[in-house]
Amino acid sequence: MTSYFLTIDNGGTNTKVAIFDDQGKQIAVSAFPTKNRERQAGFHEANLADLWQALGTASRDALQRANLTGDQISGVTTVGHGKGLYVLDRQHHIFMDGILSADSRAEKYAINFEKRIHDIYAISHQHVMASQAPVLLRWLKDHEPENYRQIGAVLSNKDFIRFLLTGEVCQEVGDASGNHLLNLETADYDPQVLAFFGIPEMANNLPQLIQATDQCGVISAEAAEVTGIQAGTPVFGGMFDIDACAIATGVLDNDKFSLIAGTWNMNIFPNDTMASEASGLMNSIFPTGKRLIEASSPTSAGNLAIMIKLLMTAELRDAQDQGKSIYDDLEVFLANTDATFAKLIYFPFLYGSNTDPEATGSFIGLRSNTTKSEMLRAVYEGIAFAHRYHVQALLKVLGHQPSVIRMSGGGTNSPSWVQMFANILNIPIELVSSNELGGLGGAMTSAVGIGLYPDLETAAAHMSRVKARYEPQADQVKIYDQKYTAYLSLLTALKGNWTALKEFQEGAEQ
């Protein structure tokens, strides 16, 4: 009899409830935008009560689309955006909004902690980012002490969602390791890490650590009422979304890279050893037991959505009036232009940078005859250039090119953009058959959790299939290499010189 698995994939831009069968076939998906409240510049928060109700509606909708009832689901897994902060009070009640991974309120804290990272790098093997949990906790301690004092449990995004489903408070080790909460040598919490961030009192609020495929409770009666999933259905540990996408695309060793073009610019590969401090890369614990080498920043497809709103107001309205998506028109546009079309450079730094923490989104090279269409194509290219910047850092650590890059995220919905990535990276890119890869990775976790497959490697072999391959085009590669040289030269020239602009911006907002 066929087994069905339901995954809740809570991303920073969109949240999906996806249902898969035991062969990896995507049966149904229901999605909604992740509501992002920005009460101040740089603050990105989610109302958790609203999120729970929206998840319940999407779960019931996915079951209906799949023509399944709640008792036909064999296992449930949560997948979520990494970093950020989700807390409960001492009675395990919600009392404040969740903080998303795009949040940059603690940027100055991150800069100062990074200056001293050598003090703990030997145990944490992480660099410091503004949206990591301990950085945000320290910011709360200093700026919202009344909230900080109420904290009784510190969770990552998908661990919070799992709490809503089960009432159980625990934290999956991979997510915790990527959120700068662990000693990666011991794969456990360490008071030295908390002391480094000046939050030693949080030690008692860190939940039990569990593995991705561990069962962590069952659907509660209350959650069954909200979601339509039968009470008692097993719920498993789940994964950080980059882990889920890597496993879903069959990236299980360093012969392949996983690239995610979504809210964040994620570029990763599993390895037997960790990257050094000097590399500037991040390390975390991969669900297979390897270490995940990560180069990432909030410089990917989230920029595109904002720039489309800024540049294409009339086109958006016309598309809506015609009952179609603006992205259909953009796909035609991309397919009919090439690397020679846009004569300017775009830095995709609306949510942060991968080179200078003070940098902001920018066009360079505007001329009197520059068109809106050129600007838009430059946005697509600039996002791919930001990925190339990270991929080159990974290549320096690995020492050789991977055989292929498996790509996921919203960017894969555009075949022309995927081809552009292949040309800019000069590495073949493959896509797998499912377009909800976080959901598929979660389904694999459930399949292993119920004992259907012995491990994630076997689950991936049975449930993941390549559907398309994009080869680099030599003529386009040559032009993009020239353009990337300009991109890199401008980044280098501006590095360390954004401060005056940032100070002016912040002063003008007060």
Could you tell me where the beta strands, DSSP code E, fall in 335-390? 345-347, 362-364
Nearest CA to 252 out of 283, 288, 217 is that of: 288
Half-sphere exposure of residue 431: CA atoms within 13 angstroms, side-chain side? 22
pLDDT of residue 371: 96
**The length of the chain, given as a count of residues:** 510
d(CA 420, CA 406): 14
* Domain-embedded: residue 375: yes
* Domain-embedded: residue 452: no
* Domain-embedded: residue 350: yes
* Domain-embedded: residue 363: yes
* Domain-embedded: residue 409: yes
pLDDT of residue 11: 87
Please tell me what DSSP assigns to residue 72. Answer: G
* Domain-embedded: residue 487: yes
Say which residues have a Cβ less than 8 Å from residue 407's Cβ, sequence separation at least 6: 249, 258, 259, 260, 261, 418, 421, 429, 430, 431
Nearest CA to 398 out of 492, 272, 487 is that of: 272
CATH number at residue 357: 3.30.420.40
In degrees and rounded to multiples of 5, residue 235 shows phi and psi of -120, 135
How many domains in the chain?
1
pTM above 0.85, yes or no: yes
d(CA 224, CA 218): 10
pLDDT of residue 510: 65
Identify the domain containing residue 404 by its residue range.
297-432+468-509
pLDDT of residue 482: 98
* Domain-embedded: residue 32: no
* Domain-embedded: residue 98: no
d(CA 99, CA 137): 11
In the chain (510 residues long), the average pLDDT of successive 10-residue segments reads 96 92 97 90 93 97 98 98 96 97 93 96 95 98 98 98 98 96 97 98 97 98 98 97 94 95 91 94 95 92 92 91 92 97 96 87 96 97 97 95 94 96 98 93 98 97 96 98 97 91 80
Say which residues have a Cβ less than 8 Å from residue 499's Cβ, sequence separation at least 6: 358
